[in-house]
Amino acid sequence: MNTSPNSPDKPVVRLKPKVNARALRHGAPWVFDSDIVTDRRTKALAPGTLAILEDAERKPLGLVGFNPASRIMARMLDRNPDAVLDADWFAARFRRALALRENLFDAPFYRLIHAEADGFPGVIIDRFGDTAVVQPNAAWADTLMEPLVQALREVTGVTTVIKNASGRARGLEGLDDETGLVCGTLPDAPIPVPMNGATYMADLVGGQKTGLFYDQRPNHAFAAGLARGAEVLDVFSHVGGFAMAALAGGATSALAVDGSAAALELAQAGAAQSGFADRFSTRSGDAFDVLTKLGEEDARFDLVICDPPAFAPAKPALEAGLRAYERVARLSAGLVREGGFLVLCSCSHAAGLDKFRTACARGIGRAGRTGRLIHTGFAGPDHPQMPQLAESGYLKALFFAL
């Protein structure tokens, strides 16, 4: 049997007899290895094979990207089992995604594709003007990069496409970690990105993820509204995240803390580009160590923001992650002046909002402080959530008045 992508003779994979297909029929995008009949034939399929998924009664459910090496063994691509994933198929989905972003933003700097919610399971695409950074975090997308990139260029007009293969997700799929240029010309300097009245510098090749975190844009803006006349501390700052937005909002000063000296250099370049250099400073080091030292120095700020990496990227790490979030809350709450504000963020999908909020409240209490929760923020609208996939609502930002 020909099992190459888009072969007319697609293999069939089937749900186990006792697996209820109702969730899949109602839009759930993932099928785990424990739910699929696996035999020598299915295990021999190449990662990224397009297959027809059937329920236990042999009724087709749709076309899936199949990977026997992944715990998410099948990802729903199209409810039509006869769909052909060519450039036209990709272009139709790109047009829909682009129309939404062009309604939301005046400039072409945004997340263009947010995986399952935009009809591209496991795929992230961030746009930086004429350049797009693609993270094909699922084997099916790796296999079909050629028509994907062709459609991306035709629909959006981008001239440079970079494949970013870093991160945990590709490892879970058994994929390589080779980042590089797909087409166009690699930028020879960081890309300036206008956002919330500031200019951020994004390293699209050597930076974290795709070079910038667009998801926090609305939370940066809300924090900026609290920052007028404030002294600000931004911990886990990356390239200046909250600090730059706060300075654009009228903060008198902002101190950015991060473990990456390279990220802080980009933050300083962005501050200079934005005209904030005289109000902006950085401190490199482990965030927990710096928070502890600032407490020992009796440093105090009007607005403190902590936006750490995912401490609980998966359920096995949940309890340790919640303890880490509690520790961040405790160390940072003590640095907030009376009547000031504390912003605590989590990008861990395994730590749901309730558990994260409880950990933060416990940490604030352990610091001897009390806080009112005045706002809960989520990822921006260019990071749409898929109602059938809880993991798509990963970002939480809690704003406390202490």
Catalytic residue IDs: 347
pLDDT at site 8: 64
Structure confidence by residue, pLDDT tens digits, 186-234: 998 999 999 999 999 999 988 888 889 999 999 999 999 999 999 999 9
- pLDDT score at 9: 82
CB-CB contact of 264 with 243 (8 Å): no
The C-alpha atoms of residue 66 and residue 314 are separated, in whole angstroms, by 22
Kindly provide the residue ranges of all beta strands, DSSP E only, lying in 129-285, ordered along the sequence: 131-136, 160-163, 180-183, 191-195, 198-202, 231-235, 253-258, 280-284
For residue 103, give every residue at least 6 positions away whose Cβ sits within 8 Å of its Cβ, in sequence order, or none. none
What CATH number did the domain enclosing 142 receive? 3.30.750.80
In terms of domains, do 271 and 169 share one? no
Q: 116 and 242: one domain? A: no
Determine the longest span between alpha carbons in the chain, in angstroms: 70
Residue 70: pLDDT over 80: yes
Shared domain for 175 and 206, answered yes or no, is no
Domain identity same for 177 and 207: no
In a domain, 149, yes or no: yes
The residue out of 49, 78, 107 marking a domain boundary is 78
Q: Which domain holds residue 269?
A: 192-401
Tokens for 237? 């700052």
278 and 217 together in one domain: yes
3-state helix, strand, coil in the chain (%, to 5): 35, 25, 40
Helices (H), 297-338: 318-333
Q: How confident is the model at residue 5 (pLDDT cuts 50, 70, 90)?
A: low
Q: At which of 22, 54, 78 does a domain end? A: 78
pLDDT confidence tier of residue 349, bands split at 50, 70 and 90: confident
The CATH code of the domain that includes 46 is: 2.30.130.10
CA dist 67 and 256 (Å) reads 42
Give domain status of residue 4, yes or no.
no
Contact 132, 152 (CB under 8 A): yes
**Locus of tokens 């604030």:** 364
CATH number at residue 303: 3.40.50.150
64 within domain boundaries? yes
CB atoms within 10 A of CB 87: 19
Position 3 in a domain: no
Q: What mean pLDDT do residues 334-360 have?
A: 96
Query: Among 159, 183, 207, which residue terminates a domain?
Result: 183
Q: How crowded is the C-beta side of 390, counted as CA atoms within 13 Å? A: 7
| 3 pLDDT above the threshold of 60 | no
More confident residue, 20 or 101: 101
pTM: 0.94
Q: How confident is the model at residue 289 (pLDDT cuts 50, 70, 90)?
A: very high
Contacts of range 349-355, beta carbons closer than 8 Å, 24 or more positions apart: 349/310, 349/313, 349/390, 349/391, 349/392, 349/393, 349/394, 350/312, 350/313, 350/314, 350/315, 350/317, 350/318, 350/321, 351/311, 351/312, 351/318, 351/321, 351/322, 351/325, 352/390, 353/396, 355/318, 355/322
- Judgement on whether residues 178 and 214 belong to the same structural domain of the protein: no
Based on the structure, what is the number of domains in the chain? 3
Dist CA 271 CA 242 (whole Å): 12
Find out whether 47 and 74 touch, Cβ atoms under 8 Å. no
> 198 and 246 in one domain?
yes
Spatial contact of 320 and 250, defined as CB atoms under 8 Å apart:
no
Are 130 and 112 part of one and the same domain? yes
Residue 75 predicted with pLDDT over 80: yes
Residue pLDDT, tens place only, 236-286: 999 999 999 999 999 999 999 999 999 999 999 999 999 999 999 999 999
List the Cα angle 14/17/21 in 5-degree steps: 70
Note the pLDDT of residue 172. 87
Q: What does the pLDDT look like over 112-147, one tens digit per residue? A: 999 999 999 999 999 999 999 999 999 999 999 999
pLDDT tens profile 297-317:
999 999 999 999 999 888 899
The chain-wide mean pLDDT, for the chain, equals 95
Pure H helices in 36-164: 40-43, 87-104, 139-143, 145-156
Assess whether 17 and 142 both reside in one domain. Answer: no
pLDDT given for residue 1 in this prediction: 36
Q: Is 347 part of any domain?
A: yes
Residue 2 is predicted with a pLDDT of: 39
pLDDT at 391: 84
Nearest partner of 134 among 105, 104, 94, judged by Cα: 94
The pLDDT assigned to 168 comes to 84
